[in-house]
Structure 1
C-alpha cells in the first residue's frame, strides 16, 4: 500500500466517509486475545476471495477490545463487519450495519463443571466459584442474562466470580480447580468433551444466532457481497477459513433474525 493510499484512507476516516471511496474495502473483526497479525492471517483467504468478487482489495482490520470495535463501527470505519451477533446488532443500532449472512446453527452459554465435582444441576452451583471470559463477550452476556432470567444475582449466588482472557483460560482454570464452574460457548463444550475432557454440562442457556457478517448500510454492492459469501465455501482460498474454524458455510441472515437476541441482552 502506498503512502498516498494510506493518507487518503486516513482522511476519509477522519471525515466519516465510507472506506469504499478509497482504493480498498475494510473488513473489521475483533479478537480479545490473539495478535492482530494472527487474526488477519485467519481471514486472509476469505478477504482475498471477497476482493476478487468485488473487483477491489479487502483489507482485514483486527482490534482487541469491544469498546474500540464499537467506536470504529459508530464512525463507519468498516465496509464489512464479522463478529458475534451481539456486536453486529449493536453496530446496527449505532450506524445501521445490516446483517447479511451467518454461520448456520445456534450458539449458547454452557455452564460446565468437572465430572467428579458433584456439580450436576443448576442448584449445585450455589456458593461455588464461577469463571467467565471477557465481560463484553457475547457468551458471557448470554450467561449473565440467563442467570437473571432465573432470578439469580451472580454477586450473591456464587462464592466468587472471575473473568478470564478467553475460553481456553476458563478450561485451564477448571482443570487446575481454580474455579468450580466455567462458562463457554456450547460448541466449545461439545468439542472439548469430544476430545476427552472430563466435563459435564450443568446448564445450557438460550440458543442464539451464530457469527454474523454485516455490511455498511450505504455500501453500493451489498447483493454482490451476499452472493459471494453464500458461495465462499466452494472457493479453495475462502474455504480455508471454514476448515480452520470447523464451519461448513454461510447461510442468509436478516435483521429480524436477531430480535430475540436484542431483547434478551437488552441491546439498545
Structure 2
C-alpha cells in the first residue's frame, strides 16, 4: 500500500468521484471567500504531502464545517484540515483523531469574537436582545458553538427567541453585513476579521468587538479512524506536517499568510471544545 508515487497526482473535485488507486483524500474547509480560491490556496499543501507520503493526495474543498465533519466520519476523506468543533463532531461520530494543529503567527490558538457596527448602540452582549444576529454554520467553533455556549452561561438557552432574527451564514458574509449595517451583530473569529481587514475587504473602523472568548485551539489536522490504524503512515504525516514550518522559508505558498506551520497534537487539546458541546447539548456523550 505504501508504493512510491513518482507521478504526483492532485485532483480537485467538489462532490466525489473516482479515486486514484491508493490515493489519500485530503478534505479542507472553505477558509477562503470562494471555492476556486480555496482550491488554489491548499493545492500546494496537497502536493507537498503527496511528495512526503509517497502517495497521490486528492484535494477536496467542503463548503461547510458540518459537511467536512460528516465527510471525514463517513469515509469520503482520509485527512481533514478542519475547525475544532468540526473535529470534535467527527471524533464523536466516527472516532476520527487529531494528529496535528495548525500554527498562526507561531501560535496554536485563536479567539472567537462577537462584533457590531460602531454606530449600532450595542456595547455589551445584553444589548443584543431583540437585535438581528448572525451565527456561522452549525459546524463552526467560533461562529456557532462558542457563542451559543456563552449565551447559555448568560441564561439564554434559546437565541432564536432572544434575537429578533437569526441567520446562519459564512464568516466573511457576517463581517461584510455587519460593517455595512445590514446586521446588528454577529459571531466571527480574530483570524478571519484580521485577514479581511488586511486584504481590504472590510475596514477596521466599520466594526467593533463587543466580546472575545478565552483562547481556543486552532484548526486540527484529523485522520479517519481507518487511517489511524496505519501507525506508520500517521507518523509520516505528523513528521511531514512538523516540517512545513521550515519548508515555508523556501516555499511560502504552502500555507496562507500568517500560517506558520503545524505542531503535533492529539485529542486532549480539544477537550474544552468537547466540554462546550456537551454543555450546550449539541454533542451527545459517546456510548
TM range (shorter): 0.7 to 0.9
The worse-fitting range, judged by mean Cα deviation, of 124-133 and 50-59 is 124-133
Q: Does 1:111 align with 2:110?
A: no
Cα-to-partner distance string for 1:116-153 (whole Å, 9 max, x where unaligned)? 22211222222222122323322222211211122123
Contact 1:26 1:78 in 2 (8 A): yes
1:200 matched to 2:208? The reply is yes
Task: Quote the residue 2:12 is aligned against.
Answer: none
Question: Is residue 2:161 matched to residue 1:156?
Answer: yes
Q: Partner of 1:239 in structure 2?
A: 252
From the superposition, tell whether residues 46 and 193 of structure 1 become closer, same or farther in structure 2 (CA, over 3 Å): closer
Higher helix fraction (1 or 2): 1
User: CA 1:157–1:197 in structure 2 vs 1: closer, same or farther (change >3 Å)?
Assistant: same
Cα distance 1:36–1:107, how it changes in 2: closer, same or farther (>3 A)? same
Query: C-alpha distance in 2, partners of 1:168/1:72?
Result: 23
Aligned to 1:10: none
Superposition TM-score, scaled by structure 1 size: 0.81
Q: CA deviation at 1:114?
A: 1.6
In structure 1, runs of 5+ residues without a counterpart are 6-12
Separation (CA, whole Å) in 1 of partners of 2:258 and 2:174: 21
Helix, strand or coil at the partner of 1:197: helix
Change (3 A) 1:169 1:65: closer
Which residue pairs with 2:188 in the alignment?
A: 184
Instruction: Give the aligned partner of residue 98 of structure 1.
Output: 97
When the two chains are superposed, the root-mean-square deviation of aligned CA atoms in Å is 2.8
- The 3 A distance-change label for structure 1 pair 231 and 198 is same
Stretch deviating more after TM superposition (116-125 or 25-34): 25-34
What is the TM-score when the length of structure 2 is the normalising length? 0.76
The answer to whether the Cα contact below 8 Å between 1:113 and 1:200 also exists between their aligned partners in 2 is: yes
Q: Structure 2: where are the runs of 5+ without partners?
A: 1-8, 10-16
